Structure 1
Amino acid sequence: MLIHPHIDPVAIQLGPLTVHWYGLTYLVAFGLFMYLGYRRLRHAPYAGLSGAAAWRFKDVEDILFLGVLGVVLGGRLGYCLFYKPAYYAAHPLEIFAVWQGGMSFHGGLLGVVVAMLWFAYSRKKPFLQVADFVAPCVPTGLASGRVGNFINGELWGRVADPTLPWGMVFAAAGPMPRHPSQVYQFLLEGILLFLVLWLYARTGPKRGQVAAAFLVGYGVLRFIAEYFREPDAYLGLLSLGLSMGQWLCVPMVALGLAVWLWAGRRSG
């Protein structure tokens, strides 16, 4: 049995300036996206485009900027609508109190989709081409975020068998050993999904299939990880003993499968 190391959430304190570890993990996520996006520009089909259809490094910067807006706005609205709709309907002004915490990945994903739609429209690029470009660059950012969760000792796992060698006691969760679900998600939704998508994107799939593979891959891996993650206290487990996170993954996987099959039947 392991003890979660107490790590000060503040990484740097310079007078009135406070830099948190969680904020640094976001910077790492953005840096990784820029690096991987630059690498994607060298891959087919993006490297072979020219003229108005060509992809440039400026496009990566713009996608990142729009994506950050989509993550923040969509993540916050998704949390309010998916997890605490009654509360925020009664306290609508608290929707803007982002410093109190509360973000939803699935809401953030919808926000990113809207951002990609705007980028594709404004640059006159096919939406699925944009989505395929972005998809393999996302999982490393998710992995970075899970590192931040672990440092903060939050989003811990369910109570584990006391004999589990890597069972971990989180101070805020009580004396029982728990699954370090942040680590599971780092490995599954972050590292494993990145490797699968990055390699799959190099095999020459049809347009739209890389983005579809992200939806299916993340949905399945998140669904599995949720079995080890403590459900939100104010929701608990829902129908069929599934968490809210698992239920939100169901339409995600279904949509991904539908898009992958549809894209595979297309000639281009």
Structure 2
Amino acid sequence: MNAITLRVKDAPGFRVDASTLLPAVLASSSCNDVPRIVLQGAGERCTLGDLFSIRQVDANAPSLTIEGDAQWLDRLGANMSEGTLTVRGHAGDYAGINMIGGELHIEGNSGRFTACELQGGRVTVHGNAGDFAAGALPGDMEGMAGGVLTIHGNAGARLADRMRRGTVLVGGDAGDFAASRLVAGTVCIAGEVGAHLGYGMRRGTLLLLNPPAHIAPTFTEGGHGFGVFWLLLSRALTHESAAFATLDTRALPRRYAGDLAVDGRGELLIVKD
């Protein structure tokens, strides 16, 4: 079993599909085979040896580390089921798409569709994430369906669009249409949010630390009997992200139900007045 480190030495000048760079797959490859692995680009091909300096060491568990700016690497961690993939820099679009298990850590920013249709495992972005994080691909009916996405910075528009299961934590702000068409799951945002919050929300929980500028009239305030749920949720969040570490587990947030325009039964919880 090998732990592999890829250090960027030469950007290709075109976008590259990195979906084959999975820790478990590379860990079982020989030292001679790894540099010859072919990556598909936009009408072109390249090998790992062309793009990266490669280092391999023995390890007990499969892991892959990519060092350097890799904004041109799309689909990192796609369909990953085990192991740890760490990006010490920026990542491209579709990072963590359809992940089943394992962990993906991005120490910089990630592009659009981060953790799109995530099914399991953990995706952590220490910088900002682009539009449609934890959402659905265009034309698909289901977004994120499991696992945990943590964004320590800001998230773009359409965060968690059509999400149906799992947990999304955002330490910064979120763009327009956050939690739009939410089917189920939990979305927590520590910063500010854009327009059309919870548009078409059917079920699930949307938690805000700060009040939004506008709440749609299709959300109605009220509801009781969720004290135990709040105690469990708030305690879990204080351990998941530093942005939620100061939550008062005893003070109930304001609760709204909606989106009633679609007969929605979701809940919007607002911690601060």
| TM class, shorter-length | under 0.3
Give the TM-score of the pair, scaled to structure 2: 0.24
* Structure with greater strand share of residues: 2
* Structure with greater helix share of residues: 1
Return the structure number with greater relative CO, CA threshold 8 A, min gap 6: 1
